[in-house]
Structure 1
């Protein structure tokens, strides 16, 4: 894809931001219309109750892996020098950060991408959470929490196993990702049929996964056409929160403009437009009955802000973007997020949900 005309017209940083804006717009619309949420998928799995979020999530994840690995196999992209493989990654950061993030997304009732979509749809609780996550993410990414992050991240690195590439570690060959994606697609299709996932929802899930591959493709070819070096990447919502803060604090300085800023803006605009056009936009506050205390959201947001940067991404940035390229650290992070969410739900929310039932049973016995 030729970005030179656009680069000549608006410059490299703005072009990079436009790529992020386009991806964010599409993601915001799709995520708002489908309610796409890793937390909800994890809790469906944990509770064993039939629902449509788990099959939607599986379809999206399978599509992300298959589409990205197809690009790699076809030679359309070379991702060997990306952030997942260019330098050693932290396995301890992936597990500990993922665990903190997973617990946090249960406390705040959504992961970073879901909260951004909810906030754009009028949920002020989500806006509050995103603001806290952004500040903590910035402090962890390049602020006062960096020493703590580095200490935890340095406990165990992928250099101890030689590489972050799953195919290389397992010796299963270059088509490991395609094989994994195909097996996951079969699983996703089976679960989708058994749980009655509507065709349009399945198509939307495929489209969400396809955005991950599109991000890799667009940014890789952009990286080949610029003077200042940039790394290919795809969707993520932790570092973009920190970098959007930097851009805002700079007063809109073009040197702080990047794909991250465009992705943040695009997701907000896409979700906002989709919610308004569909009539689902509604202001929601902490005053609504049954809403947990704001301190719970604050605590969860702190865990997500620190844990997400430590894990080098959220459920999308580490889970989908890193998982799609078969990065071991990302797969560990995603697994830790999901397991932690399931455990936190059992410890915090399952007991809370069961109290009204126990009370009703006790009243009936009187």
Structure 2
């Protein structure tokens, strides 16, 4: 498997119904005072069973560090960690041992490896993201304390938070189950997810992430562009289908005169359609991007499908599944953004004396 990161790197292991998930972080600098509570807090925001609109699998998601941290400080050696699985119900997946779920990774894993762990999706399970949250939460602590990385649910299906992020109070994000900072929109989103869940169906949407106070100069000129590294990380998330930053696809409808961000005398810009990134490098303005997520592939209602021999069958999902991934994906987006920024921050630091 490939690693996440360029200099700061993460490799992971584990399956949904195995003993544990875990990872190894390499090239983490020595001497950093680690806030372990901050890491666990992000894991708690991601874990299942936290509300009625997410999967009811019950996991403590408690991280155990095996190496690389001594007396509260990083040692400079590889940081190893595990998160044990506590609440597997493998029997819920026995009907999938030879069947392929539509729009799931069952078929492609079988074709690539010739074998797959069908219990909860094995490695293709979104439970893999516990590893990314641990790594990202640690990496966030490498960045200047002034850097703020905040994600929130900006749409569910056809329900959009219409307010620009500048008009939102981010302290309200965790005040509701869907993690949308606009309370009126959040109520509509929650009602929609409950309606979809009752039907045995699933629904998608978008998450917006805002990065404030990132120093100028983060990101590489060609293949390590900041937006490219962010996009790679975000599109690695299960169910992610699209990424846009700044003006995004809307910018394709504009002229250069409309789109150009004119300078102020202090080197800030009058507008920020660039999304805080120019030439692949941060320019000191807010970085903002949006990630689109598809509906979860496993639905609790009958669907036509086939088995591994091509025989038709009727398949109906069983077990505990998210009707919408968005609420639990918010800390995943924040953590991956943190890891990307910390990685490029370290690369940038090595380039200058």
Give the TM-score normalised by the residue count of structure 1.
Answer: 0.23
Which structure has greater helix proportion? 1
What TM-score do the two structures reach when normalised by structure 2? 0.24
